[in-house]
Chains A and B, each alone.
Chain A
């Protein structure tokens, strides 16, 4: 039917148009970042007359961006690894080992969903101060280590591993740690990468806590640090956009490389099967 196909083409054009409008602010930020500062404020060009990377040069070499990158990488990679390791162990125990208080512990972890971590910032700050961890990597990392949803997702996956596998491994004389890291974890490798990537993205993007716990510019993460640049050097749009793009790069790349995994992890953590 020709009528139907024209309709489809129109529908496609409409969808594309909306999608492009939706993503336009990002395009606009990228385009702005490669314009000379004068062109940014003198005229509206959708494609720059000349490509100029001085904004990136400035962002990389005249600001603290390199230090903030370092802080972000160290803290978000550590958070990712520790969250996965401690959660996977806890989930394995909850799923496979019978110990007193197992049900209660699971119930408590489920209930933690209700506690908004943002409401805890005052008492966490007091605690970090007492531990002498203000303005340190440890201070940024510690409160981010409890992610109940990772435990719950792992537990559900471990529950569905056939019991015979575990019994066979036990007969072969494997300890619980061996069973977990040699058998259960490799069996759930896909879900581990998914959860790791999403944890990494969340840790990189964390704002409120790193903002509160770091006051010295040398300890800030990228997400917090970039908000200081306009304050320190005045508003310059090409430069601010270059800084923003550099700050978003590590998560944008991780997302584009692992799209499917990111999607899967988000579905799992919201309770829809991926």
Chain B
């Protein structure tokens, strides 16, 4: 009974994991065999400016998305849980629907909304900055805008987790606190925040790991530009392996990404365990 799953697992998962490491020590092109070069690819990577740019940009993107996305999710959830019945369902759908859209649909919609000439968001940009900006062609604006679109796209999921968490808090706590004359703010700080912390930690963890793997939105909106200001790690994998035909170097970048994610997951797991104690 385990045979079909285990076979599939070995062929399309375990073997590629092994192959990713093996390839990263060779100078193989994308298709074909290569010579063993030891740590050559890694040495090359560490001497390459684009690698540091990609690491930096991936970090910058994570910074711009993870905490804002978590806070906005919590904020919206606090609003939505106060509503009741069909109204709550309706509002939840409005907030959640972007999450189920394919990434290419999301990017097409936002490219239109933010279009320099006719985009409706340009009224707002013009109001604040005094001029229209081609946001995806501007090195200062590009990454924050990709982050904004990502928050809009993925927030529904966080919102959902927070709502579930908030619903699990017994109402009696609030009633008792109200009787003692607690204010809304006190209720939040003393009851909601400590009890919602496990969900917050979960959302932060999931977000962090998810956003380190950014590629699709960047590729579709800016292709890493302008001037590499949105170049991220997975884009470097794509460039090395599929554009420059360096399967070995591409795999080395993939290994780096893999290691970063493992380290981050382990660190975060430890940190959260310390907090819980």
Are A and B bound to each other? yes
Q: For chain B residues 194-249, which have a beta carbon within 8 Å of chain A? A: 199, 202, 206, 209, 212-213, 215-216, 220, 234, 237-238, 241-242, 247
Contact A252 B20 (CB under 8 A): no
A181 to B20 Cα, complex, angstroms: 37
Interface presence of B5 (CB below 8 A): yes
Q: For chain A residues 78-130, which have a beta carbon within 8 Å of chain B? A: 85-87, 89-90, 92-94, 97, 99, 105, 109, 112, 114-116, 118-127, 129
Interface presence of B9 (CB below 8 A): yes
A116 to B254 Cα, complex, angstroms: 9
Task: Tally A-B pairs: CB < 8 A.
Answer: 229
Other-chain residue from A15, A116, A251 in contact with B213 (beta carbon distance below 8 A):
A116
Chain B positions 154 through 168: 1 when the CB is less than 8 Å from some CB of chain A, otherwise 0: 000100110011000
Interface presence of A1 (CB below 8 A): no
Chain B positions 106 through 125: 1 when the CB is less than 8 Å from some CB of chain A, otherwise 0: 00111011010110100000
Other-chain residue from B8, B76, B254 in contact with A145 (beta carbon distance below 8 A):
B8
A272 to B103 Cα, complex, angstroms: 25
From B62-70, B93-101, B132-140, the one touching the partner chain is B93-101
Interface of A is mostly: helix
Other-chain residue from A23, A123, A267 in contact with B97 (beta carbon distance below 8 A):
A23
Q: Which residues of A contact B250 (CB under 8 A)?
A: 122
List residues of A whose CB falls within 8 A of some B CB: 11-12, 14-16, 18-20, 22-23, 25-26, 28-29, 32, 40-41, 44, 85-87, 89-90, 92-94, 97, 99, 105, 109, 112, 114-116, 118-127, 129, 142-143, 145-146, 151, 176-177, 180, 201, 204-205, 207-208, 212, 222-224, 226-227, 237, 240-241, 243-245, 247-248, 251-252, 255-256, 259, 262-263, 266-267, 270-272, 274
The 9 closest A-B pairs by CB, nearest first: A90-B5, A123-B19, A123-B16, A119-B254, A19-B94, A86-B4, A205-B102, A23-B94, A93-B1
